[in-house]
């Protein structure tokens, strides 16, 4: 249908990028990118109207997102016939618009396109030997100025390399080293570096990517004090184990995976350095508070738990209930003491779900005057319940009295 609508507007239509790459890698990909040779927004409007979908258009960039009622999205970009001016003193080249669009992309493996117009439906377009590089499992840039144009591509190279088990090509690797040496990151905002780092930390297993970031001296871009010594790598592996454990038990519970890994990265930084890092990477206040405040409270609690084990259930609960799940998982990963680890896992699997069946109205019925005492009573009931002293609602009522 996409191709048919585009042909009615006399435009070429292609599905491009990650979606096509992942077809060749037998990997699922639900993000569809379409390039229209012509006015992409006009196409998106017509196509969305036909299928009862909404669109969000950016006239300035000639792009649109088509959003279907059940949430599926298609990104649409416009490609126009242009002359490509190389950044240096090289001759200007004339290219077909789809070819130019693909030439502007980061790596050869992302330059495949499939034509969608009915007369050429399914034609595979491969101008830059993407199929060869996919076969050779290589991440290669299209030209030597790729990282000058966009230094965030360095992080992307490492992310793709690790995700697919590929290798960064020799020349591309040299270009990365050169870009790092010339400090191309200086021109990037901290926010953009953070966005890329976060994407890496959201990957299935970020540990090898952290090693690769270090190979290229890129952890220094976060902060000079971050060194990926054996301690950090073991911590990353411990985080991975804890997250797998959590995901197996609580599939439906969502949390920010990158936060737990980022807590691991900043684990050996003091408060001042943590604050510097959050400022440099321009983290939103709702995120900075996790790394600059909550983490230090978690470290203190963890220290207390270590000193005071064995513990009652109520004291485990009281020490942990104010922390968000990301910090609980961080605590689990950082502790080496089996007993403490067990206590935290008991909190995650059981204790945090325990509630008293009593409420204020039950206490009122008993003739207790409302006031701060209600909270004290209800907390005492919960503590007793956590410690296994109260089995039934009746036990709770008797205890409250
Ligand atoms: N792209 C680029 N330079 C960047 C970011 C993106 O050239 N700094 C190009 C890539 O070629 C990519 C396309 O824009 O194919 C879309 O970007 P994105 O959605 O981030 O890439 P995907 O390959 O779909 O990545 P993912 O599988 O992680 O979604």
Handedness of CA 177, 178, 179, 184 (dihedral sign): positive
Q: What is the mean pLDDT of residues 146-164?
A: 95
CA 252 to chain centre: 17
pLDDT tier, 186 (very low <50, low <70, confident <90, very high otherwise): confident
Q: Could you give phi then psi for residue 297, rounded to 5 degrees?
A: -65, -40
For 94, the 3-state DSSP assignment is strand
Q: Which residue has the tokens 């991975």?
A: 240
Residue 17 CA to ligand 1 centre (angstroms): 7
**CA distance linking residue 281 with residue 260, whole number of Å:** 17
Lowest-pLDDT range, 14-28, 76-90, 277-291?
76-90
Residue nearest to atom 12 of ligand 1 (CA): 17
If one counts every other C-beta atom within 10 angstroms of the C-beta of residue 28, the result is: 7
Residue 307 CA to ligand 1 centre (angstroms): 49
Q: What is the mean pLDDT of residues 118-140?
A: 97
**The two structure tokens encoding residue 182:** 């010339």
- Which residue from 244, 179, 236 is spatially nearest to 209, judged by alpha carbons? 236
From the alpha carbon of 152, which atom of ligand 1 is closest?
A: 8
Q: What is the mean pLDDT of the chain?
A: 92
Residue 33 CA to ligand 1 centre (angstroms): 10
Residue nearest to atom 21 of ligand 1 (CA): 18
Residue 357 in contact with ligand 1 by CB distance below 6 A: no
**The two structure tokens encoding residue 204:** 């299935």
CB 239 within 8 A of CB 259: no
Partner residues linked to 343 by β-bridges: none
Q: What is the mean pLDDT of residues 258-270?
A: 95
Residue 93 CA to ligand 1 centre (angstroms): 24
Residue 190 CA to ligand 1 centre (angstroms): 19
Residue nearest to atom 8 of ligand 1 (CA): 153
Residue 19 CA to ligand 1 centre (angstroms): 10
**The two structure tokens encoding residue 223:** 């902060």
pLDDT tier, 229 (very low <50, low <70, confident <90, very high otherwise): confident
> pLDDT, tens digit, for every residue of 25-68?
999 988 899 999 999 999 999 999 999 999 999 988 889 999 99
H or E element that contains 51: helix 40-51
Residue 272 has pLDDT above 60, yes or no: yes
The DSSP call for residue 119 is G
In the prediction, which pLDDT does 108 show?
98
Q: Is the peptide bond before 146 cis (omega within 30 degrees of 0)?
A: no
Find the helix packing angle between 257-265 and 325-334, rounded to 10°: 40
Residue nearest to atom 9 of ligand 1 (CA): 105
pLDDT tier, 253 (very low <50, low <70, confident <90, very high otherwise): confident
In the prediction, which pLDDT does 84 show?
55
Winning range, highest mean pLDDT, from 29-33, 187-191, 239-243 = 239-243
Residue nearest to atom 25 of ligand 1 (CA): 18
Q: Could you give phi then psi for residue 266, rounded to 5 degrees?
A: -95, 10
> pLDDT, tens digit, for every residue of 87-108?
656 655 555 689 999 999 999 9
**CA distance linking residue 396 with residue 20, whole number of Å:** 61
From the alpha carbon of 156, which atom of ligand 1 is closest?
A: 8
**CA distance linking residue 176 with residue 111, whole number of Å:** 20
In the prediction, which pLDDT does 70 show?
85
**CA distance linking residue 393 with residue 374, whole number of Å:** 17
């Amino acid at each position: 249908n996409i191709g048919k609508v585009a042909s009615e507007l006399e435009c070429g239509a292609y599905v491009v990028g990650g979606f096509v790459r992942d077809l060749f890698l037998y990997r699922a990909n639900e993000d569809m990118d379409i390039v229209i040779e012509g006015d992409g927004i006009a196409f998106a409007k017509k196509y969305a109207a036909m299928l009862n979908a909404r669109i969000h258009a950016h006239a300035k960039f000639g792009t649109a997102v088509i959003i279907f009622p059940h949430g599926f999205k298609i990104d649409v970009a416009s490609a126009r016939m242009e002359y490509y001016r190389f950044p240096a003193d090289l001759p200007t080249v004339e290219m077909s618009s789809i070819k130019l669009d693909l030439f502007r992309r980061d790596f050869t493996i992302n330059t495949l396109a499939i034509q969608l117009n009915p007369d050429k439906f399914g034609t595979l377009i491969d101008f830059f030997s993407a199929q060869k590089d996919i076969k050779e499992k290589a991440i290669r840039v299209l030209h030597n100025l790729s990282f000058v144009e966009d230094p965030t591509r360095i992080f992307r190279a490492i992310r793709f390399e690790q995700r697919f088990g590929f290798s960064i090509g020799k020349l591309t690797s040299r270009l990365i080293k050169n870009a790092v040496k010339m400090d191309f990151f200086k021109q990037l905002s901290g926010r953009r570096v953070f966005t890329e780092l976060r994407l890496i930390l959201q990957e299935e297993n970020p540990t090898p990517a952290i090693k690769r970031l270090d190979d290229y001296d890129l952890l220094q871009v976060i902060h000079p004090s971050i060194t990926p010594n054996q301690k950090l790598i073991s911590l990353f592996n411990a985080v991975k184990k804890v997250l797998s454990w959590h995901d197996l038990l609580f599939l439906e519970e969502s949390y920010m995976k990158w936060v737990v890994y980022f807590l691991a990265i900043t684990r050996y930084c003091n408060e001042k350095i943590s604050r510097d890092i959050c400022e440099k990477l321009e983290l939103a206040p709702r995120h900075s508070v996790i790394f600059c405040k909550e983490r230090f409270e978690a470290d203190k609690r963890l220290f207390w738990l270590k000193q005071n084990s064995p513990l009652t259930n109520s004291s485990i609960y009281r020490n942990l209930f104010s922390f968000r799940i990301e910090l609980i998982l961080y605590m689990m990963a950082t502790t080496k003491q089996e007993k403490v680890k067990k206590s935290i896992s008991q909190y995650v699997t059981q204790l945090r779900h325990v509630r008293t069946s009593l409420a204020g109205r039950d206490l009122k019925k008993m003739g207790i005057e409302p006031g701060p005492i209600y909270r004290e009573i209800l907390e005492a009931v919960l503590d007793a319940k956590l410690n296994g002293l109260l089995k039934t609602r009746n036990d709770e009522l008797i205890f409250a009295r």
